[in-house]
Structures are given as C-alpha cells and as structure tokens.
Chain A
Amino acid sequence: MDPVKPKRKLPIIHRYSESLTFKVSTTVIIIMLVALVVFSFVLETSDRQKLANDITTNGDTFATFTAQPIYNDYSQFYSHLDSGDFKDFKSLVQGMMTEDTNITKIQLVSISGRILFDSDEFTTGQYTGSAYRTITNLTTLNEISSNSPLSSRSLKGSNGQTEIVVPVTEIGGSYHVFSVRYILSYNSLNALMNDVYMRIAIVTVILLVFVITVSVFYASRLVLPIKHLTEVANRLRGADLEAKADVTSKDEIGQLGLTLNEMATRMKSYIADIEVSKQKLEDQYHILKQEHIRLEASIESLNVGFIMTNANNEVSMINRTAKDILSHEQTPEGSSTKIDIDKQTWTADYIQTRLTKSFDIKASIEKVLSTTRSVLKDELNYNGRILRLFMAPVTEIEDEHTINKLGAVILLEDITEAKILERSKDEFFSIASHELRTPLTSIRGNSSMMLDYYKEVFKDQQLQEMMQDIHTSAIRLIDIVNDFLDVSRLEQGKVSFSYAAVSVEKVIESTAYEMKATINEKKIYLKVDKLTLDTLPQVWADENRLKQVVYNLVGNAAKFTEKGGITISARLEPDKDKIKVLVTDTGRGISQDSQQLLFHKFQQTGSSLLTRDTTRGTGLGLYISKMIVESMGGVISLDHSDTDKGSTFSFTLPVATPERQATAKKDDTQTNTTTGMTTAKT
C-alpha cells in the first residue's frame, strides 16, 4: 500500500472543482456550448450561402432591370451621354441602391472602359474621372461584352465582393455599347449575420446563466442527499450509531439510504451483542483470575514441592517448597548448606542440574506423557538428602481418540528426616532387642545353671524359690521383648512370611506335644480331635507363624482353664476354600465386656497367674495372632464364650490350591547382616 500522501491545502477553486455539483454543472454547460457552436456553424455555412445566393440573384435582377431601359431606349442614352445627364437612369439607380443595401456601386461603363456613371456621385457628389476603380480588368470586361446583351455575368472578387456585369447593345445590334456594373458587398447579409450572431450571443449568455444556475441548483439538490448519506456514514464510522439516513426518494440514492440505515441497525445490534459478550468475558476473566489466585495460593501453601511443566517441557509453575527442597548443597567438608532460591531462575534445565544424575527429568516426563501413567520414585538421593518424587501426566481428553498432553506435574517431598527416623526406629528395635536379649539370656541361663548344678547351695527352699523367680522373670522379660519386636515388625509390615503348603494336622500335633508337659502340670487335658484333622487339605501359610498362633490360643486356653481341658479341632469350610481351626476350652469364659477388648493391643482378660507356662503375659498374644492370621489371608475370632462354661476361639486360613501355589511370589527379603534384621522389601 502506498503511504498516505500528505493533504495539500488546496485553493478553494480547486476544492470546488472536485465537487459533484461542479462536475455536473460543467458537463451540462459544455454540452450546451458545444450544441450552440455546432448550431452556429451549421447556420453560418448553409444559410449564409443561401442568403448570399439570394443577394446575388437579387443583384442580378436589379442589374438587368437597370440595363433594360438603356437597352430599350438606346438612342436616348446615347444622345444624353455626353451631357452626362440621364435623370431617369440616375433616379432608378438611386432607388435601387436605397432598396438594396447590398449594392455598393453601380457603374455605367462604356465599351472603351470609360466610366460614364458611378453611384459614388450620390455620396461624394462627384465621381472620379477615368480612373478605373473596378475589380475586373478591361480584358474580362470585353469578354463579357461579347456575350449577348442583357445576359448578366457575376464575378467573384478577392475582397468578398461580387460584381455583376450586364452588357448592353443597341436593340438589334450586336455591338456592345455599355456595361452596367453592379458591385455587391453583401452588406445586408453581413448585417443580418451580425444580427444573428448578436442574438445567438445574447441567447447564449442568458442560457449560460440560466443553465449554470439551474445545473448548480439541481446538482446540489442531487448532491445533497449524497452529502447527507456521507455525513450519516461518517457518523456511523465514528461509532455514532444513532445517525439515521433521512431519504425518501425511491431512486438509487434512496436505496443507498435505506441500506445504510439497515446497516446501522445491524451494527447496533452486533455492538450490543459484543458489549454483552465483553461483559461476560470480563466477568469470566475475573472469576478465572480469582480461581487462579486461589490455586496459586493453595499450591504455594503446600508443604509438598509442586512443579508443573507445559507441553514444551518448560516449567510453568514451581512453588516455594519445591525450590526449598532443591536448594540443598553439600560442601566438600560434608556439611550441608543451602543456595539462595530467590536468586535463581527455575527452568527445567536448572532443576535438572540441581538433581544431577540422580534423576533424568526430561526422560521421565517423556515416559510419563507417552504412557500416560504416573511414576513414583520412592528414594532419590541428592546432595545428602533423600527425596520422594511423584510425576503424573496432565492430559485433556477431548474425545475417544484425542488426548491433549498439556504437560506434567511433579510432587517432591524431602523425606530425609522421615527416612532417618525410620532407620533409627529399625536400628533401635534391632539394637534394643539384641542388647536386651543378651543380658536377659545371661540371667536366664545363669540362674538355670545355678539351680541345676549347685543344688547343694540352693537346698534352702527360699533360696531356691528366689532363684526360680529370677529365672522365670528373665524368661518373661525375654518373651516381652520378643513380643514387642514382633508387634513392631508386623505393624510395619517388615515381616516376611514364607508360604508353603502346610499340614494343619502336623502343626497342631507338634504344638500339642510341646505343650503337654505344662498342660499336665495344671491337671487339665489337651485333646486333639484326630477325626476332623485326618482328611484335611493343606493350608497355604507360613508354618512357623501358624504354629505361633496355635501356641497362643492353646496357651490362652490353658491360662483360663482350671478344670476340664482343651480340645483342638479343624475342618474344611463349606466354600471349600478355607480351613478353620478351633480351640475349645472348658475354662471360666470371658465376660461380655471383656469380649470387646479381645484382639486389641495390651488387653488382658482376668488376672494372669504365671507359673512356668508358655503363655505370653503381655496382652499382645491375640493381637499378634490377629495380625499373623490376617496377613496370611484368614480371619480370627472368638466363636462363643459362656461364663464358667468355656470359650471357643477359631481362625481360618486359605487352602493351598494349585493357583495359590503357582502364584507364590517369593517374598523379597533383604537381611541386614549387621543387625540381623530381616526386612520385607515393599
């Protein structure tokens, strides 16, 4: 596009020359003038010619008429010639000249060329002598004279005059005597023409004025509505939508006006719509902005590091906590410092440099976006800290086939302290258990040996009893330590169960065998219901732990039974997928209130009177049993209990089906060989 030329200040005429009015008027005027010129031209040529001819003819006639009396009365003229007085002729000529102003001169010329009469005599009173003031020369005159008398000849002159020559002879004579010469100047014609021209000029001027006035008037009238429409359009352009074209004519201008009005109306409604939309947009924007502020504030307030990347792997949001987490540095000496998080630009690349080789952000983002699955990195070592990193894709599902990948979101947690705590808890338990057990074993062992090998020294009953108590206490303490360790490890899920197809019958029998001694001391029976055990399928369980549970239940039963005994039985459940083991005692039962407390930590029912038995008096027995049974996929419960009648406890375990045996996942265990702790890898 050409650059806009600067507007020159045009002289007023120039400006008006651009207006429509001027153009229209000028056109009309020019047309008129052209018409007039053409008219004049036509008039001049044709009419002039005709008029000239008329004059010539007239002249001709007069000249002949004048010559006629000469011809008729030749002798008279001839005789009067010398005297120069031929009155009739002269008055005739005068009359002629008065009548026809085109005749400028009439001459009577002799054959020798002598001017006998010249009409100048009337004006000047004399005529010049013999000077030949004619337009034709003598030769031509003689030529004409040779023609028959009274036959006129017209000759054109150089100065627009016409000469008519009529030769006269004696009647019947062939000898030319006189010539009547008429010199025509077309005066009347000229006068007429001038008159006409004058009239034309006047008419032209009048017409001109008239036409100018009318055309200017009409043009501006024509232009007026256009001007009006222009003004209306200008106002519309200037967003003044109330402008209305006021045109009533049915012509094209009227159409234009209507269209303009319609346009204005439509524009108005569009603009109104736009205003409404604009308002809505503003409101939405405001709402959105507030939402955004809330969101940002929430994210900033999290005590979890939050990083969000967009589709181009650029960081679109990072909260303070994330920067804080990534701010750790280790000095060469090994102490930790922090960088100034506010002085950095946290781009994806910068974050990568902070994490160094421990984690490839971009690769992980790629993976997360391509698989649309989240990723959890449980332990990420970086600069002496331990982080937990969670990454998930941010996607927008448009339809079945279109998923827009908007970026990824990363959550960071500094779990260094938590991990340290965990490890110190582990260490505490292992150290505690190890450190406690050794002296306890020493107490137990030494007191036992004292009783066994120094019987003479301990002959004294009291002494013996004291030593017994020391020994028993040691055992009890060992049991408590074992229980505590067991509970903590079971609760933390750090216990590995080695599953196998186990014979319930075998376990129950061996437990019964081991407990027989202590049972007998209490004078109660321990029966194993062999009938129910015979045809049982094997269970899928950890054998040692199964034994532990049976041990616990039987031990509890023994604790609360003074008379009668304990019966152990087992059966296959109706769904054929579980085996139920039941331990029934005829003891004092458990009250309703106490039943609520069963299987909870540290709850004991009744007083526990421990002799050298094998029950654990820590109140953790049933709690541990419950955790074990449930870990192995079973359910433990008190089936029923009646005061002074006895109680029945039971637990179920899954049958060792081929499917279960096939899907046996070897528990990932790792043994810390320093502490001897066996931990299950989660």
Chain B
Amino acid sequence: MAKILVVEDDPLMSRMYQKIFTFEKHEVDVASDGEECLTKVLTFNPTIILLDVMMPKMNGLQVLEQLKGNPATKAIPVIMLTNLAGQQDAETALSKGAVKYIIKSEHEPKEIANMVQEVVAGYTRNAIPGTA
C-alpha cells in the first residue's frame, strides 16, 4: 500500500493510472501540471511519484529538477512516464535522478503497477531499462 502521486496532464491517462493503482489498493493522488505537483507533493507526501515527461508550462525534466533540488522531496523516488518520442528526455531524466522510465504505450496497466511496486519495495535503481 503506497501513496502514489501521478503527475500527468492528459485526463485519459491520469484516470487510467488512478484506476489501476486504486485497484491495486494504493492511495492515489493526481496533479495535472508541474506547479500542482510541487504543491501537492508537500501535502500528500507520496511514497513514489509518477512523472510525465511532456507537459505544458513546466515539462517533466524541470519538475524533476525542482523535486531533486528540494531536500524535502529529493528522497522520493520518481518514475518518468513517456511515450516513444520522449525517450531521449526520459534517459536524460535518469541522469537527473529519476529511478526509471516507462514507455506508456508499451505496457499494460497491470505491468506498470507491478513495476511501481517493485520500485517501492526495493527502491532499487535498475540498470538502464532497455525495453522497459
């Protein structure tokens, strides 16, 4: 049972993730942009953050920098969410402190949930996921 903060601007996606994590009996909160994320993280205190790379106003990388720059939040593991095109940015994110990146369209929600659980459980930083 983890507290998962999903940062995703597209409602279709954020609803989907909300559901899967709820089905898996986790507590979920959703932020639809970077600003909201930075606000909510402090109040919600998530165990893990799922952060979309491509967002308007502030993109995922910038949010990540902020999170990792803030001592209050830098310990929280962050998983980057991306589609195939944003792969380059996702890889950059890893070097900025993200634990992993997931290509949204490649996985079933259940797989994503499992991955999240793995991270939370082990809080291990995988080797660069090839076709994660």
Query: Hey, which bits of chain A sit against chain B, CB under 8 A?
Result: 430, 433-434, 437-442, 444-446, 448-449, 452-453, 478, 482, 485, 510, 514, 543-544, 547, 669, 671, 673-678
**Cα distance A437–B53 in the bound complex, in angstroms:** 15
| Inter-chain contacts of B53 with A (CB < 8 A) | 676
User: For the side of the interface on B, what is the size category?
Assistant: 20 to 34
Contacts A446-B16, A449-B23, A547-B131 given; indicate if A676 touches B86 (C-beta within 8 A). Answer: yes
| Inter-chain contacts of B84 with A (CB < 8 A) | 433, 437, 482, 485
- Select from chain A the residue with minimum beta-carbon distance to B59: A673
Residue pairs across A and B with Cβ atoms less than 8 A apart, 20 shown, are A430-B85, A433-B85, A434-B85, A438-B12, A438-B13, A441-B104, A444-B108, A445-B109, A446-B16, A448-B108, A449-B110, A452-B23, A485-B85, A547-B131, A673-B59, A674-B54, A675-B85, A676-B54, A677-B85, A678-B88
Whether the Cβ atoms of A449 and B54 lie closer than 8 Å is no
Of B23, B59, B88, B92, the contact of A453 (CB 8 Å cutoff): B23
Whether the Cβ atoms of A440 and B130 lie closer than 8 Å is no
**Cα distance A432–B34 in the bound complex, in angstroms:** 24
- Select from chain B the residue with minimum beta-carbon distance to A482: B84
**Cα distance A423–B66 in the bound complex, in angstroms:** 32
**Cα distance A478–B104 in the bound complex, in angstroms:** 11
Cβ-closest 6 pairs across A and B: A676-B86, A676-B85, A442-B12, A678-B88, A448-B108, A445-B16
Whether the Cβ atoms of A547 and B130 lie closer than 8 Å is yes
Counting chain B CB atoms within 10 Å of each CB, the highest count among A439, A671, A676 belongs to A676
**Cα distance A677–B13 in the bound complex, in angstroms:** 20
A109 to nearest B CB, angstroms?
Answer: 174
**Cα distance A675–B82 in the bound complex, in angstroms:** 12
| Inter-chain contacts of B27 with A (CB < 8 A) | none
Whether the Cβ atoms of B109 and A449 lie closer than 8 Å is yes
| Inter-chain contacts of A510 with B (CB < 8 A) | 130
Whether the Cβ atoms of A438 and B108 lie closer than 8 Å is no
Q: Is the interface of B mostly helix, strand, loop or mixed?
A: helix
Whether the Cβ atoms of B13 and A678 lie closer than 8 Å is no
**Cα distance A446–B88 in the bound complex, in angstroms:** 27
| Inter-chain contacts of A482 with B (CB < 8 A) | 84, 105
Q: Does B87 contact A (CB under 8 A)?
A: yes
Of A439, A448, A544, the contact of B12 (CB 8 Å cutoff): A439
Whether the Cβ atoms of B83 and A433 lie closer than 8 Å is yes
Name 15 extra pairs, CB < 8 A, besides A444-B105, A676-B82. Answer: A430-B85, A433-B84, A438-B83, A441-B104, A444-B108, A446-B16, A448-B108, A543-B130, A544-B130, A673-B59, A674-B54, A675-B54, A675-B85, A677-B85, A678-B88
- Select from chain A the residue with minimum beta-carbon distance to B12: A442
- Select from chain B the residue with minimum beta-carbon distance to A543: B130
Q: Does B20 contact A (CB under 8 A)?
A: yes
Render B51-94 as a binary contact track against A, CB cut-off 8 A, 1 for contact: 00110000101000000000000000000001111111100100
**Cα distance A448–B89 in the bound complex, in angstroms:** 28
- Select from chain A the residue with minimum beta-carbon distance to B17: A445
| Inter-chain contacts of A444 with B (CB < 8 A) | 105, 108
Whether the Cβ atoms of A434 and B109 lie closer than 8 Å is no
**Cα distance A671–B89 in the bound complex, in angstroms:** 8
Whether the Cβ atoms of B110 and A452 lie closer than 8 Å is yes
A467 to nearest B CB, angstroms?
Answer: 13
Of A437, A442, A671, A673, the contact of B83 (CB 8 Å cutoff): A437
| Inter-chain contacts of B109 with A (CB < 8 A) | 445, 448-449, 452
Whether the Cβ atoms of A673 and B89 lie closer than 8 Å is yes
Q: Does B19 contact A (CB under 8 A)?
A: yes
Render B93-130 as a binary contact track against A, CB cut-off 8 A, 1 for contact: 00000000000111011100000000000000000001
Whether the Cβ atoms of B12 and A678 lie closer than 8 Å is no
**Cα distance A437–B83 in the bound complex, in angstroms:** 8
- Select from chain B the residue with minimum beta-carbon distance to A454: B23
Whether the Cβ atoms of B16 and A442 lie closer than 8 Å is yes
Whether the Cβ atoms of B130 and A676 lie closer than 8 Å is no
**Cα distance A448–B108 in the bound complex, in angstroms:** 7
A434 to nearest B CB, angstroms?
Answer: 6
**Cα distance A498–B131 in the bound complex, in angstroms:** 15
| Inter-chain contacts of B83 with A (CB < 8 A) | 433-434, 437-438, 441, 676
**Cα distance A117–B110 in the bound complex, in angstroms:** 202
Q: Does B36 contact A (CB under 8 A)?
A: no
- Select from chain A the residue with minimum beta-carbon distance to B104: A441
| Inter-chain contacts of B88 with A (CB < 8 A) | 669, 671, 676, 678
| Inter-chain contacts of B87 with A (CB < 8 A) | 678
- Select from chain B the residue with minimum beta-carbon distance to A510: B130
Counting chain B CB atoms within 10 Å of each CB, the highest count among A544, A669, A678 belongs to A678
| Inter-chain contacts of B16 with A (CB < 8 A) | 441-442, 445-446, 449
**Cα distance A673–B57 in the bound complex, in angstroms:** 12
Q: Does B35 contact A (CB under 8 A)?
A: no
- Contact residues, B15-51 vs A (CB, 8 A): 16, 19-20, 23
A502 to nearest B CB, angstroms?
Answer: 11
Whether the Cβ atoms of A442 and B108 lie closer than 8 Å is no
Whether the Cβ atoms of A478 and B110 lie closer than 8 Å is no
| Inter-chain contacts of A478 with B (CB < 8 A) | 105-106
Whether the Cβ atoms of A440 and B105 lie closer than 8 Å is yes
**Cα distance A544–B88 in the bound complex, in angstroms:** 13
Contacts A445-B108, A678-B85, A678-B88 given; indicate if A673 touches B131 (C-beta within 8 A). Answer: no
